[in-house]
Structure 1
């Protein structure tokens, strides 16, 4: 089940989700992003890097 409906062309400027590899990290509120496919959330730091919770397996 998709959490966000992507518009055509959104993939060009959104980062691919490193957790599921099937969705894209969509900006939600403030510095927070959520995957359009699996729903995992991450916060963007001052350098534009997405920081995931330590419980998220990125391997």
Structure 2
């Protein structure tokens, strides 16, 4: 089975933890808290999710 890889950039890790729990059998997840690591390995993922907690 081909599992799609998803990367989640979540500074507080709440939403990333929820996604990993709900969809762990269907997708492979990597999560990062530091947005500076965005450019490294971007082509390795099928989906990129950014979680923003503040409007500032």
Choose 1 or 2 for highest CA Rg.
2
What TM-score results when the alignment is normalised by the length of structure 1? Answer: 0.22
Higher relative contact order (CA 8 A, sep 6+): 2
